[in-house]
Amino acid sequence: MEPHAPVIKTWDCLDAYHPGLELTSEAPTKSAKQALRKAEEKLKFYLKNERNRQYYWDEIEELIEKSHDLAVSYHQEMGKINARTLGKRLRGLGFQNIWFGILQGMTVCSGKTKEDLEKNISLVVPNSMQDYVYKYHLKQTKK
């Protein structure tokens, strides 16, 4: 008789992508939530500044390859970091009071409202990457 693959919960994100593991849709356990929270905190520390991102790059890659949730956190944090620079450049071009979708350091779509942006994301961005898009509201400049 062949042994069964170990069963893990889909929320046990740190081990979810290892081969031979069977995924279930059961509710997350407290320890799985804690493990994910700890991994997200570690990831945020690694992404905190450019120096950390370079120094911990191998650890960052390892974390984001293990879990979709951690990959989403990575892209959201990097989107937030890139939004500062992109926001200044877009304001310099005269844009204001508009929503932008940022993915891997690039503006991939926009919309006048958040709903317009979300619609454009669903039309333009591949399904597998839609969760990664950071939604940024470039507010109107105060005079």
pLDDT band, residue 32 (cuts 50/70/90): confident
Cα torsion 122, 123, 128, 134 to 10°: value is -50
Any idea what DSSP says for residue 135? E
pLDDT of residue 26: 55
- Comparing 15-29, 31-45, 62-76, 89-103, the range with the smallest average pLDDT is 15-29
Give the integer Cα–Cα distance in Å for 58 and 132: 20
Using DSSP's 3-state secondary structure scheme, residue 2 falls into coil
pLDDT of residue 101: 96
Give the integer Cα–Cα distance in Å for 97 and 119: 17
Give the integer Cα–Cα distance in Å for 94 and 54: 33
* Mean pLDDT of the 97-122 span: 96
Per the model's pLDDT, the better-predicted residue between 8 and 139 turns out to be 139
The Cα-based distances of 56 to 45, 46, 48, 83, 118 in angstroms read: 9, 6, 11, 22, 32
C-alpha count within 13 angstroms, C-beta hemisphere, residue 89: 9
* Predicted confidence (pLDDT) per residue in 56-102, tens digit: 999 999 999 988 999 999 999 999 999 999 999 999 999 999 999 99
Q: Taking the CA atoms of 64, 28, 15 and 23 in sequence, report the sign of the dihedral they define.
A: negative
pLDDT of residue 66: 87
pLDDT band, residue 19 (cuts 50/70/90): very low
